[in-house]
Structure 1
């Protein structure tokens, strides 16, 4: 038969095969069974994964569905071992849920060979307490996917060489653990770049203690160039805070904020002056700046020039600081007890200073003040004026 077939092919003969769909119903049976089995297995895996994520990892149905797209459990033995290890290190249910929702693939790693060495390193070498460890890792899960030998330990050694003060090191690590996950070889060149520009050791120390993650910023060089153009003196503490603010503001966001100030009557020079004095005024949301500035102009008669010289007031809470203090001062002025002249220092001074000078000193007037507030500001939430004790609380 094969000879006949070969002979016909050599003479250009053609053959018509039967349509497979018209063939015996058994023609597609093996393929259909295989496909069906695969689909069934996939469905079972998905159902198992969803059930585990909700019942054992405390995820909501929506969060579980999103996580199930990134991890597929054929069984739960390894995943249960991962959760048991996390609980041994102090993780609560909500912290486990947060961690797994961020990094579902964590359920597939080896708990003893991969996960435990990192947890132990962070606890024993970095010094994170049983309370701190889960709190930090539930929001900084990348640490659990970095090699101890190739990344975490070498970076810790570099930080120890830079921060000789062992008292500062734990503070830096707690606020900037991402320094352990980044390329540690970039730290020294960046510190040298700051020193070359004139940053003092005190400023560099402030940056490490307050905003350590700035050193790990992928656009560090760009940020440093921007701050050079603004010409903030690198020997001032505000230089460190300016670096931090510029690291979270893109150029377009910065431009939008400048436009917001200009619409409020500011010049670009006044904006820069405010930023140099108090960099955090540029990290305040535009709505907050606009609300505060409009109040200052309408109620207190403050000009952009005055506010730009006292830019801290732009960062203050309107409900918890500005309005309560204004009401107290306005009431006392109406009684003739103080001059009717609210200054920026009245809003910026510490709470104890304000309490002693304007609240406790005139405590016999307090009940009348509360009545006026309730009458003139109906619907305005004045929790800070409900009692002297509440006003004592930190704003």
Structure 2
């Protein structure tokens, strides 16, 4: 995905400080991704943003090495998603280390509606088709699979109510 943004960092602007920051991301010099890592100031800003949520610099570099596309996300998007993960989902900040898609996914059209539907299913005393599915797994499912596991497995009237709830959650 980073390869779709070739102008993020000019090839001629590699100074020693920038090379150190890029090295910390874990992206190697011979990697095709090397030239697509963001500008040093941007990297510093994004690292500082994640540090505000309690992640150590070492954890952030590890995260960026696993998922370099995080460096292309806006500070605002990361703040919105992290705030939701911490406040609404009640997950630890370190959960994004294991599940970086929590920062990548669209909060309004994917994360929030799915989290709300999963909560609704359990509030109604219902269970998903597959037991012991973590919320992280539910967020990674395809739309078809997610609906099958959480909506279509219930009686028709309950399934319709859940589907209406989910569709409203996506639109709002």
Q: Is this a same-fold pair by TM over 0.5? A: yes
Normalising by structure 2, we get a TM-score of 0.75
Once residues 253 and 260 of structure 1 are traced to their aligned partners in structure 2, the CA distance between those partners, rounded to angstroms, is 10
Relative to structure 1, is the Cα distance of residues 255 and 355 closer, same or farther in structure 2, using a 3 angstrom cutoff? Answer: same
Summarize the Cα distance change of 1:279–1:231 in structure 2 as closer, same or farther, 3 Å threshold: closer
The alignment status of 1:321 with 2:110, answered yes or no, reads: yes
Aligned equivalents of 1:252, 1:287: Cα separation in 2: 16
Paired position in structure 2 for 1:337: 126
Q: Spell out the pairing of 1:71-220 with structure 2 (5 A cutoff).
A: 211=3, 214=6, 218-219=10-11
**Using a 3 Å threshold, how does the CA distance of structure 1 residues 218 and 266 change in structure 2: closer, same or farther?**
closer
Q: Distance in 2 between matches of 1:212 and 1:301?
A: 34
Q: Which residue of 1 aligns with 2:72?
A: 283
Asked if the contact 1:297/1:303 (under 8 Å) is kept, the reply is yes
Match 2:51 to one of 256, 262, 267: 262
Structure 1, unmatched stretches of 5+, are: 1-206, 375-379, 385-395
Aligned residue pairs total 164
Query: What are the superposed Cα offsets for residues 94-123 of structure 1, whole Å, 9 maximum, x if unpaired?
Result: xxxxxxxxxxxxxxxxxxxxxxxxxxxxxx
Bigger-Rg structure (1/2): 1
2:98 to 297, 300, 309: 309
The 1:264/1:342 distance shift into structure 2, 3 A limit, reads same
1:344-373 Cα deviation digits (max 9, x unpaired): 222123323223222332372233336667
Deviation, structure 1 residue 330: 0.9
Hey, what's the Cα distance between the residues in 2 that align with 1:266 and 1:303? 10
Is the counterpart of residue 352 in structure 1 residue 144 in structure 2?
yes
RMSD (Å), alpha carbons: 3.4
In the alignment, is residue 299 of structure 1 matched against residue 103 of structure 2? no
Mapped to 2, the partners of 1:340 and 1:300 lie a distance apart of 17
* Unaligned ranges ≥5, structure 2: none
How far, CA to CA, are the matches of 1:262 and 1:344 in structure 2?
A: 22
Q: What SS does the corresponding residue of 2:54 show, helix, strand or coil? A: coil
Q: Contact (CA 8 Å) 1:242, 1:280: kept in 2 or not?
A: no
Taking a change above 3 Å as real, the CA distance of residues 341 and 300 of structure 1, as seen in their structure-2 partners, is: farther
By percentage of residues, which structure has more helix? Answer: 1
State the shift of 1:213 in Å: 7.0
Structure with larger RCO (C-alpha < 8 A, sep 6+) = 2
Distance in 1, matches of 2:40 and 2:65, equals 17
The alpha-carbon deviation at position 337 of structure 1 amounts to 2.4
Give the Cα–Cα distance (whole angstroms) in 1 for the partners of residues 74 and 124 of structure 2.
36
Secondary structure of 2:88's aligned partner: helix
Are the structure 2 counterparts of residues 325 and 220 from structure 1 closer, same or farther at C-alpha, using a change threshold of 3 Å?
farther
